[in-house]
């Protein structure tokens, strides 16, 4: 099962459409999409089931049940995938296509794309090739699972700052 999520802020037609095309060519692999508010002109996939929004509990359930997650390059999704050690394909939203306000998702993809189990597809064509590759050779269990908390040094710096105000 593939789980597609584009975050809750805005839809991502290019990705929803690209996965729809791929699913039509690969009918044996079921998929489910969380597409955010589509509006009257938004792309409505027909080759997989989808909803605009999911509750946090439903979102977690879909995430856990999926064998592969396909998503925009949002940090919430990336952190969730790393903490559940779930293989993830990210397609960055682009600023010039007005999919987000700038190209920060490209930067995210560049900086996180090298982690094991994380795949970057820079555009819709690359997505097809990436998905075909993953289906042919599923990623092994080499993903590192991250813990529940941030870098201990950061936590300690914050704790120190929070309590340092005491003496004043």
Partner 1 sequence: MSNNKEAGNRNRLKPLRILAISSAGGHWVQLQRLRSAWDGCHVAYVTSKAEYEPDVMEDARRREQRPPRFYKIIEANRWKKADLIRQCAQILAILIRERPHVIVTTGAAPGFFALLLGKILRSRTIWIDSIANAEEMSLSGQKAKSFADLWLTQWEHLSGGSGGGASPDRDKPDYKGAVL
Contact residues toward partner 1 (CB under 8 A) are 7-9, 55-56, 74-77, 79-80, 82, 101, 104-105, 107-108, 110-111, 146, 148-159, 161-163, 165-167
Cβ at position 41, least distance to partner 1 in Å: 17
**Spatial separation of the C-alpha atoms in residues 4 and 80, rounded to whole Å:** 13
129 vs 155, which CB is nearer to partner 1? 155
CA atoms within a 13 Å half-sphere pointing along the CA-CB vector of 65: 12
Q: Write the CB contacts of 5 (distance below 8 Å, at least 6 apart in sequence).
A: 33, 34, 59, 62, 63, 69, 70, 71, 72, 77
At closest approach, how far in Å is the CB of 168 from partner 1? 9
Q: Which lies closer to partner 1 via its Cβ, residue 27 or residue 167? A: 167
CB of 21 to partner 1, least distance (A): 27
Residue 139: phi and psi, rounded to 5, are -65, 140
* Residue with Cβ nearer partner 1 (11 or 77): 77
């Amino acid at each position: 099962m593939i789980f597609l999520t584009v975050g809750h802020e805005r839809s991502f037609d290019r990705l929803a459409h690209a996965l729809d095309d791929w699913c039509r060519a690969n009918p044996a692999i079921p998929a489910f999409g969380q597409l955010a508010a589509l509006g009257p002109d938004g792309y409505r996939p027909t080759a997989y089931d989808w909803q605009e929004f999911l509750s946090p509990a439903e979102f977690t359930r879909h995430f856990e049940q999926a064998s592969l997650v396909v998503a925009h390059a949002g940090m919430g999704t990336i952190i969730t995938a790393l903490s559940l050690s779930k293989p993830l394909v990210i397609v960055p939203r682009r600023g010039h296509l007005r999919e987000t306000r700038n190209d920060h998702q490209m930067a995210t993809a560049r900086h996180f794309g090298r982690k094991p189990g994380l795949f970057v597809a820079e555009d819709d064509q690359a997505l097809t090739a990436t998905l075909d590759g993953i289906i042919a050779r599923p990623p092994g269990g080499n993903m590192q699972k991250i813990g529940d908390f941030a870098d201990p040094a950061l936590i300690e710096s914050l704790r120190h700052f929070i309590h340092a105000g005491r003496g004043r």
